[in-house]
Amino acid sequence: MKIAVIKKISISIGLLIMSASVLAQAPDDRAAIERAALNYLEGFYEGSTEKIRQSVHPDAHKFGFYMKDGAYNRVPMSFDGMLEYAENVKEKGNYPDKDAPKRVEILDVLDQTAVAKVYAWWGSDYMTLARYDGKWMIVQVLWQTKPES
């Protein structure tokens, strides 16, 4: 009898936890996370500092690796560095090809945090996002260029 009651309680708790996870992944959250990730990409692609500001928290950290001469080089970038990069794209007209990759994959969503991966012309970026006053903002980015074949 005790075992049956414990089993029922355990199942109930498990269902409650699973339903909370599903609620945390509301379609509106997923759409807002995807929009933030796309604004980030489009900010770099279009040279739009406005899109960077809309999607990236000012305290964000970006760190990545690019391949040069057969070795990876590390590159840190601050929020201001992201804005400068976007400004340079616009000033120089250094836009990617129209068919350049621009895809977002949402990897995990909780009620306050999320993780996404974006595919871009330079490679892949993994980003963590946090909800600030109801708005999803990118707080960390780890990226690398496409591996040499």
Domains of the chain as residue ranges with CATH: 27-145 (3.10.450.50)
- Model pLDDT, residue 22: 47
Q: Mean per-residue pLDDT for 108-121?
A: 98
Q: Mean per-residue pLDDT for 56-81?
A: 95
Backbone region of residue 49 per phi and psi (left: phi > 0; alpha: psi in -120 to 50; beta: other values): alpha
The residue behind tokens 């780890």 is 142
The residue behind tokens 């040069």 is 68
pLDDT(143) > 70: yes
Exposed/middle/buried for 131, CB within 10 Å: 0-12, 13-18, 19+?
A: middle
Q: Mean per-residue pLDDT for 97-119?
A: 97
What mean pLDDT is reported for the chain?
A: 89
pTM, two decimal places: 0.80
Largest interatomic CA distance in the chain: 75
Cβ–Cβ under 8 Å, residues 129 and 111? no
Cβ–Cβ under 8 Å, residues 114 and 108? yes
Q: Mean per-residue pLDDT for 32-44?
A: 98
User: Closest Cα partner for 126 from 85, 49, 65?
Assistant: 65
pLDDT digits (tens, 9 = 90+) for 71-100: 999 999 999 999 999 999 999 999 999 999
- Model pLDDT, residue 2: 65
